[in-house]
A and B are shown apart, each in its own frame.
Chain A
Amino acid sequence: EAQVTQNPRYLITVTGKKLTVTCSQNMNHEYMSWYRQDPGLGLRQIYYSMNVEVTDKGDVPEGYKVSRKEKRNFPLILESPSPNQTSLYFCASSPGVYNEQFFGPGTRLTVL
């Protein structure tokens, strides 16, 4: 089944404790993105990747890191999480320009 998977689905952590949210897609898509969803703000792009080893900042990259060592994986790293990073996070992938983006199931992160 073609899909984007994210883990964990739920995470509660404390300020400053490094964490990684994994994202994997099995559709051989070139593009991958991370978004965060906050009430009243919709979804905002954090980082994106156009291919292996090619990543760049989106609209709200502060406090996040990403890597794209393999085409299928695009982990999101929070080196020192803070409470303002409490949010719902989505990973998405797309086969190319203007194509539909396929979203993962979301990760609910709470930083205390």
Chain B
Amino acid sequence: AQTVTQSQPEMSVQEAETVTLSCTYDTSENNYYLFWYKQPPSRQMILVIRQEAYKQQNATENRFSVNFQKAAKSFSLKISDSQLGDTAMYFCALNENFGNEKLTFGTGTRLTIIP
């Protein structure tokens, strides 16, 4: 079964520091996409960053970057210069494209930025 594992249920970090959220996944596909979604207290699901499996270069979006290790099936999210607005639940998700556009989600990491 396809699985996504986030082993850190909760994390906290001081404002302006850097934090890394871990994600591992399991798939037998060679081509797939990985995503990090942010869910603030408003409950809205917001895309943070996306990585194509066939691209070796790690994706970056401003203060957000990923460390994609395909062989190890690892996909961690690094948040630099963390801000209070980064406080949210973060979900790692996998899309293997079986024709159903299904995202397989991890259980989430609750991140708190401390002023």
Instruction: Tell me the interface secondary structure of chain B in the complex.
Output: loop
Name the interface size band of chain B: 20 to 34
Instruction: Tell me the interface secondary structure of chain A in the complex.
Output: strand
Contacting pair B106 A98 (CB below 8 A): no
How distant is the Cα of A22 from the Cα of B100 in the complex, in angstroms?
Answer: 20
Report the minimum CB–CB distance from B43 to chain A (whole Å). Answer: 5
How distant is the Cα of A56 from the Cα of B98 in the complex, in angstroms?
Answer: 12
Number of residues of chain A lying within 8 A (CB) of chain B: 25
Q: Is A88's CB within 8 Å of the partner chain B?
A: yes
- Tell which of B44-52, B59-67, B68-76 binds the partner: B44-52
Chain A residue at minimum C-beta to C-beta distance from B97: A97
How distant is the Cα of A56 from the Cα of B102 in the complex, in angstroms?
Answer: 11
Contacting pair B102 A58 (CB below 8 A): yes
Q: Is B80's CB within 8 Å of the partner chain A?
A: no
Q: Is B85's CB within 8 Å of the partner chain A?
A: no
Report B's interface with A, CB cutoff 8 A: 4, 33, 35, 42-45, 47, 50, 52, 91, 93, 95, 97, 99-103, 105-108
Report A's interface with B, CB cutoff 8 A: 31, 33, 35, 40-45, 48, 50, 56, 58-59, 88, 90, 92, 94, 97-98, 100-101, 103, 105-106
